[in-house]
Amino acid sequence: MFTITNRVLRVGALMLACACAQAAAPAQEPYGFGSAPSPAELERFVSPLPDGRGLPPGSGSVEQGKALYAQQCVACHGANLEGGIADKLIGGRGTLVNDTPAKAPVKTVESYWPYATTLFDYIKRAMPLTAPDSLTNDQVYALCAYILSQAKIVPDTAVMNADTLGKVVMPNRDGFIADPRPEKLPPVASTPHRDVAIGGAAK
Ligand code: HEC
């Protein structure tokens, strides 16, 4: 009888010790390796939201973008952004919805992309094709300004920065419909992204 009680007590003590050890382990390092990135390390990663939150500091004008485009983009995207060995960047407005089977929609930044901030994100991450992530934030803003001006979405005098780029209304802004399928994700309020959720935190 004594032995059984003693054993039960010992098992209980062991379980308690395990629970304590688990509670003491850092929550973010379940495998015991790696370290939290510093703000400086995270600085070069951008992930802007449609309304401009998350865009980095910096700015660039249409004129500056024009010069950069001529040096770094023209070979693939064409002198008039009409495309060549790579995508056409402007044009195609009004072609997405049509009743002519022979007429394919022309999808470009101008005709298709719903948010201007995607342009920053995409160019920063992926262009020029041969040297992605090589452009400074100022250069990326300038290229956005140039492409948007050639698409007649902003004037030739436009300067793009974290504030102005988020305010640009793209022609196809309302051309997408919300996905009606229910999300199998936790409510926004209980995710780490609650502070940057579009439309504010969930109720
Ligand atoms: C060596 C060729 C090349 C160069 C130089 C180049 N691009 Fe591209 N670009 C591409 C290719 C290829 C794609 C398509 C990539 C894909 O769909 O995965 C593309 C796609 C894009 C798109 C997206 C178009 C769309 O509708 O999906 C943008 C915007 C863009 N490039 C901007 C730029 C800018 C700005 C520069 C100059 C800094 C640049 N590119 C330089 C080859 C190039």
Q: Tens digit of pLDDT for each residue in 78-133?
A: 999 999 999 999 999 989 988 888 888 999 999 999 999 999 999 999 999 999 99
Instruction: Check pocket membership of 81 for ligand 1, CB cut-off 6 A.
Output: no
Atom 17, ligand 1: which residue's CA is nearest? 87
172 lines ligand 1 (CB under 6 A): no
Task: Choose the residue to mutate in 66, 76, 112 for probing ligand 1, maximizing ligand atoms within 8 Å of C-beta.
Answer: 76
User: For the chain, which residues make up each domain, given as ranges?
Assistant: 47-174
Q: What element of type H or E holds 138?
A: helix 137-150
Task: Go through the chain and tell me how many residues it has.
Answer: 203
Contact 122, 140 (CB under 8 A): no
34-68 pLDDT, tens digit per residue, is 888 888 888 878 889 999 999 999 999 999 999 99
187: its two tokens: 């409510």
Select the CATH number that applies to the domain covering 47-174 from these four: 3.30.420.10, 3.40.50.300, 1.10.760.10, 3.30.70.360. 1.10.760.10
116 lines ligand 1 (CB under 6 A): no
Mean pLDDT of the chain: 83
